Amino acid sequence: MGGKKTIQGWASEYQYVVSGWLTIGYFRSQLKNNSMRRVLPPQIFMLVLLTLAIVGSYRVARHFLTPPSFGEYGWYRGAALKEIASRTPSYAGRKACDECHSDEIGKLAAAEHKNVSCEACHGPSQAHSDDPDSHAPLKLADNLCLRCHEANASRPAWLQQIVVADHYQSKAGGQHCIDCHQPHQPNEAPEEKKPS
């Protein structure tokens, strides 16, 4: 039979190629015999090597970069709970505000902003709650109102939204949200300030 292969010879070689073309021993033997070009085109061979390199790099990186506590509670780091609990609180909560500002909390309970936390507008206030004389909460400014009320298609339709350029009547930029709206009761006009 010399150099000619029979159909059975081709079939057995094809079966060998299909079943073992990814094994290292097969690659080594093919590279030594320099017959890899006949069995696997070089482009495919390079793609296979590149895929193996990418998958191998990913597995190595995943091993070194994944925290040891990952997966203790599903797709979460178990140590994250301890880390978060060890942080110093920066938000006081509505109960802390109610200790001194119960009149404002009462106004807020009857208005549209009843579900909005005090600290959503006045900022984190744990320091103010601990020492009211030295730490003042944020003063209300337009940017705090517009954080929720500037027109944005991603917000729900029931949320009152405005386009600032259309909403303000004076183009000089001297008008502010709190000139026409009370933050704790937004549908009521603010009380007139008496001249001093």
Q: Where are the domains of the chain?
A: 7-66, 94-180
| Between residues 168 and 114, the one the model is more confident about | 114
pLDDT band at 124 (very low <50, low <70, confident <90, very high): confident
Burial (CB count within 10 angstroms: exposed 0-12, middle 13-18, buried 19+), residue 67 = exposed
Q: Are 169 and 175 in contact (CB under 8 A)?
A: yes
1-47 confidence digits (pLDDT tens): 445 555 555 555 555 555 544 455 555 565 566 554 467 788 999 99
The pLDDT assigned to 24 comes to 54
Q: What percent of the chain has pLDDT over 90?
A: 13
pLDDT band at 141 (very low <50, low <70, confident <90, very high): confident
Confidence check: pLDDT of 60 > 50: yes
* Contacts within 8 Å (CB) and 24+ apart, 142-147: 142/176, 142/177, 145/121, 145/177, 145/178, 145/181, 145/183, 146/177
**What's the whole-model pTM score?**
0.52
Sign of CA dihedral 93, 95, 99, 102: positive
